[in-house]
Amino acid sequence: MKIVKLFSSTLFLLLATFVNGQELKLGKVSVAELEQKAHPKDSAATAAILYKRGNSKIEYNETDGFVLVTDVETRIKIYKKDGSEYANQQVSYYLDGNSREVVSFSDAYTYNLVNGKIEKIKVKSDGFFEEVVNKYRGRKKITFPNVKEGSVLEYKYSVRTKNIAWMPDWEFQEEIPVNYSQFSTFVPEYYVFNIRQKGYIFPKIAVEKNQKSMIYTEKERTDGHVVQTSFSTSKVDYLETKTTYLLENIPAMKEEDFVNNINNYRSSLEQELSMIKYPSAPVKVLSHDWESVAKTIYDFDSFGPELNKTGYFEDDLKPLIANAKTAEEKILIILNFAKSKVKWNDYMGYSTEKGVRKAYKEGSGNIGDINLMLTAMLRYSGLEANPVLVSTRSNGISIFPNRTAFNYVIAAVETSNGKVLLDASDKFSAPNILPIRTLNWHGRLIRKDGTSEDVDLIPKKNSNDIVFMSYDIAPEGKITGKIRRQCTDYNAFKTRNTVDGVKEEEYLEKLENKNRKIEISDYSRINEKDVLLPTIETYSFAGNDLCEVIGGKIYINPLLFFANEKNPFKQEVREYPVDFGFPFLDKFNVTIKIPDGFTVETLPAPSAINMEDNVGSFKFNVAFNDNVLQLTVANQINEAIISTEQYEMLKEYYKGLVAKQTEKIVLKKI
């Protein structure tokens, strides 16, 4: 399947120049900016970023060595009432270990035009807030006062950290227009960063080299009759590279249905330390290519060594797998055992948090704890199992070699029928049925020897949603009937998670309201817990508003509340691929008994729509015999991701599907 290429390759240092014709500084808000009523290029915009400028500099001090300091300043214009949400800004930061960051706000003001003069209101101490998100992340917030249509907001923040492994991500594109966005990095010659650009709009780049120096103090002790300590200072010269990225007049991001993660397509910049080259020391490669990434991660104390620990579970697991005759039996036994022993604590991560032994003992752990333990158990049983690094849907797509591309790990077992992918963090997962959050293009399998290979995470098998429905139509229009709904694979997985922990009464109330306020009775559900079987729901229903009676005729949509009534693909041009998550088949077998004394006046014609390259097909057939209508409708989509080149085809496909599914049967009196 052809997917639009969205990402540039690793950037080389390009020598370029550009001219900035604007003098953009904090405190220099103009009357013209305050008087502006609408954005000149996007009249629908509720707000806009007039400018945003940031610097990330690796600098040396004698206390901490090299540290990373980032300064960002921003000016925002509010055009409409809905734009006042931008009066609340926040900066997230790390709380954990060497990655700990310190954030501070400054120069925060609201500007308004009052009687032709600029009014400047400072954000006071009660406008700043701080909260702990979890044990790894914190958040600093700022709320601007007296914000209204026409206001301009300004603020600056700084982030300081000893962790220089990652530059902060820089987003050029936002949900509102951005007039000017500039980001500069200052990197000593000792460090090499992998640089990745995402999105469709790429910045201009300027590079310059500057000579820098650092002074450090050395302490020396001399032994003798009297111990003496002497201090000396040294000066080291080094070359610093300043790289500046600039974009102007950036359009707002457009929301579209069926988008995996819009940040995958946002014009932005990511940088990760890939190599360290200290003087008179061996070069240290961290993430130059996938092999170095795999080796770096596998060598982490909280990753590779954890896979070698087995003593804590051997006595418990050994009797369970003693009589397993096939690899498939072992896999299922071990997956269920791992699920039962350690529950997910809602923290991601490919490395362990507690360590597998402690997580097993305490009965809870992060993703790394659970799925590295699972991999170790599979290996102990004699299966060829390896961890697979994954970037979740919320984390974005991992395309380029880097450690931060991943935030998750699953297990893969090599069998005679191919790889079996496993995740023990969700009680409803099954072999090759992973949590939806992991279905994100590709993962990276890594082995003991540090080699790696690409693993396709996109499901290929259709997940079915099969509905059998029969109903009677009364002369006055009331409909009574029965439904049997059977879901397999990912549709079953979603059903199980939907009903899990929900009281039946509450679930049925939502189902009734969703389906035009029908009344449901005789409800039953089977295979709710058995993840290898399809989920099956059966119930009776009745509704008084499911058809129309006009002039003695009955008008009815034969699919009732199951019909697709709107085309989800309306844009003239689609900017992002359509992501369904997994291929699927929605099928309806409907039997309709029409009331005595009525016959069919109008019946929809059979229809078939096929997309090119077997992307999908739609079939609609209806027959009438002895006062009974038989309807068969099937919508089959064979690709989880549809490229932008195929969008027009998909749009026309759904246009025809909706037109046919909303076509009504007309019954008249004999």
Report the alpha-carbon distance of residue 286 to residue 273 in Å, rounded. Answer: 7
- Residue 11: burial class (beta carbons within 10 Å; 0-12, 13-18, 19+): middle
Label residue 294 by pLDDT band (50, 70, 90).
confident
The mean pLDDT value of the chain amounts to 92
Specify the 3-state DSSP secondary structure of 170. Answer: strand
Spatial separation of the C-alpha atoms in residues 390 and 444, rounded to whole Å: 7
pLDDT digits 0-9 by tens, 488-506: 999 999 999 999 999 999 9
**Average pLDDT of the segment spanning 19-23:** 40
Q: Two tokens at 19?
A: 């001219």
Q: How many whole angstroms from its chain centre is CA 56?
A: 26
Radius of gyration of the chain (CA): 31
Answer yes or no: are the C-beta atoms of 389 and 444 closer than 8 Å: yes
Q: What is d(CA 568, CA 635) in angstroms, rounded to the nearest whole number?
A: 15
| SS3 state of residue 262 | helix
Give me the pLDDT at residue 343, please.
98
Name the percent of the chain lying above pLDDT 90. Answer: 81
Does the pLDDT of residue 370 top 60, yes or no? yes
Query: Cα–Cα distance between 368 and 424 in angstroms, integer?
Result: 11
Residue 543 host element (H or E): strand 535-543
Rama region for 88: left / alpha / beta (φ>0; ψ in -120 to 50; rest): beta
Quick check: helix, strand or coil at residue 135? Answer: coil
pLDDT digits (tens, 9 = 90+) for 581-634: 999 999 999 999 999 999 999 999 999 999 999 999 999 999 999 899 999 999
pLDDT of 404 above 80: no
User: Is 625 in a helix, a strand, or coil?
Assistant: strand
Question: Concatenated DSSP letters for 588-608?
Answer: EEEEEEPPTTEEEEE-PPPEE
Percent of the residues in the chain that have a pLDDT greater than 70, as a whole number: 94
**Interhelix angle 327-341/367-380, nearest 10 degrees:** 140
Would you list the DSSP string of 66-126?
EEEEEEEEEEEEE-SGGGGGGGEEEEEEE-SGGG-EEEEEEEEEEEEEETTEEEEEE--GG
Confidence band for 222, pLDDT divided at 50, 70 and 90: low
Q: Per-residue pLDDT tens for 311-340?
A: 999 999 999 999 999 999 999 999 999 999
pLDDT above 80: residue 219: no
For residue 552, pLDDT over 80 is answered with: yes
Q: What letter does residue 301 receive in the DSSP assignment?
A: T
Q: Exposure pattern of 643-659 as b/e (b: 16+ CB <10 Å)?
A: bbebbeebbebbeebbe
Instruction: Please give the pLDDT value at position 226.
Output: 60
Per-residue pLDDT, averaged over 278-282, amounts to 89
Name the band, by pLDDT with cuts 50, 70 and 90, for residue 19.
very low
pLDDT band for 17, please (50, 70, 90 cuts): very low
**Domains annotated on the chain, with CATH:** 31-285 (2.60.40.3140), 291-456 (3.10.620.30), 463-669 (2.60.120.1130)
What average pLDDT does this structure show over 49-55?
A: 98
pLDDT tens-digit readout, 90-113: 999 988 766 789 999 999 999 999
Does the structure show a pLDDT above 60 at 5? Answer: no
Using the CB atoms, write b or e for 333-361: b if 16+ within 10 Å.
bbbebbbebbbbbebbbbbbbbbbbebbe
Residue 240 neighbours by CB distance under 10 Å: 17
Residues 6+ apart with CB under 8 A from 545: 516, 517
Confidence bin at 134 (pLDDT 50/70/90): confident
| Residue range 252-279, pLDDT digits in tens | 998 888 998 888 899 999 999 989 999 8
In this structure, what token pair is assigned to residue 77? 């214009």
Q: Which helix (H) or strand (E) holds 555?
A: strand 553-556
Residues listed for the chain: 670
**The pLDDT of residue 221:** 63
- Say whether pLDDT at 424 is over 90: yes
Tokens 């279905």 — which residue?
A: 439
Tokens in use for 31? Answer: 């009357």
The Cβ-side half-sphere exposure at 264, using a 13 Å CA radius, reads 26
Q: Which of 59, 421, 40, 34 is nearest to 213 (CA)?
A: 59
Q: Per-residue pLDDT tens for 166-192?
A: 899 999 999 999 999 999 999 999 999
Strands 88-94 and 65-78: unpaired
Half-sphere exposure of 334 (CA within 13 A, CB side): 33
Distance CA 127, CA 142 (A): 6
Strands, E assignment, 167-203:
170-171, 178-188, 191-198
Distance CA 439, CA 458 (A): 6
pLDDT in the model for residue 646 = 97
* Contact (Cβ atoms closer than 8 angstroms) between residue 185 and residue 167: yes
Instruction: Write the single-letter amino acid at 92.
Output: S
> What is the C-alpha to C-alpha distance for residues 641 and 577, in angstroms, rounded to an integer?
7
Predicted confidence at residue 635, as pLDDT, reads 98
